[in-house]
Amino acid sequence: MQNETSLIIPTVPGTPFEGGFYVARIRLPDAVYAIIKAPKARGDFASAEWGPYGGSDAGALSFNDGLANTLAMAKAGSKLAQRILDLRIDDKGDWYLPSLDEIEVCYRACKPGTEKNSMYMRSGINLHAMPPTQPYTADDPAQTVAEIFRKGGAECFEENAVYWSSTQYANASGYAWYQHFSYGNQYTWHKDFKYRGCAVRRFKI
């Protein structure tokens, strides 16, 4: 996660970059980072539990720091977190499960299909996105312009799938946040339920 200033930072989702594919930008307290999705063949996990239903992962409450969340998850025994931390792709070994706001920018930039978006509760509000975003409307975001992320594309998120974030639900420790990639709904569910997981890394800009 070093800041290689000699590199040209992509601005178009789907551009190959630093071991994966550029998606979007996220703000952490120290800097702005590019979010990079791992190649699907190596960094996507189907039918994965977030972790044990009981107990609290006190270090996994961040909405924008998925790396810190993932490290806390692994320490508490999450097999999904450990599998992602063990990844080494294109000589990069700092992959992690995205936080809620990181997986949200993935949906916004990489929405695979054309279904209307959910306008339920907080879905789409992202104060850490660059720029910050408001709740979804029925038509915004639209289907991604990046062909490789569209439905049927080589690197697409599965359209009808739910993807775990690494953010535990603060009000009930047995639950964690997820992002639906068909219509964008963000909600929480039991940690031991089996959803998809994807690996990302970040690059300091």
The pLDDT, as a whole number, for residue 6 is: 62
The pLDDT, as a whole number, for residue 147 is: 97
Q: How many CA atoms lie within 13 A of 116 on its CB side?
A: 5
Query: Which of 177, 175, 147 shows the shortest CA–CA distance to 163?
Result: 177
Count CB atoms within 10 A of the CB of residue 104.
Answer: 29
The pLDDT, as a whole number, for residue 2 is: 44
The single residue listed with the structure tokens 């810190």 is 68
DSSP the chain: ----TTSPPP-STT-EETTEEEEEEEE-SS-EEEEEEPPHHHHEEEEEE-S-SSS--TT---SS-HHHHHHHHHHTT-HHHHHHHT--BTTB---B---HHHHHHHHHHH--S-PPPP--TTTT-BTTBSS-BPPP-SSSS-S-S-GGGSTT-TTPPPTT-EEEEEEE-TT-TTEEEEEETTT--EEEEETTSEEEEE-EEEEE-
Q: Which residues of the chain have pLDDT under 70?
A: 1-6, 55
Cis link prior to 16 (omega < 30° from 0)? Answer: no
Query: Which of 65, 98, 100 shows the shortest CA–CA distance to 81?
Result: 98
Show the tokens assigned to 183. 């219509």
The pLDDT, as a whole number, for residue 50 is: 96
Yes or no: say if 36 and 24 are a contact pair by the CB < 8 Å rule. no
107-159 per-position pLDDT tens digit: 999 999 999 998 877 799 999 999 999 999 999 999 999 999 999 999 999 99
Q: How many CA atoms lie within 13 A of 57 on its CB side?
A: 27
Name beta bridge partners: 16: 21
The pLDDT, as a whole number, for residue 119 is: 87
In the chain, the amino acid numbered 196 is: R
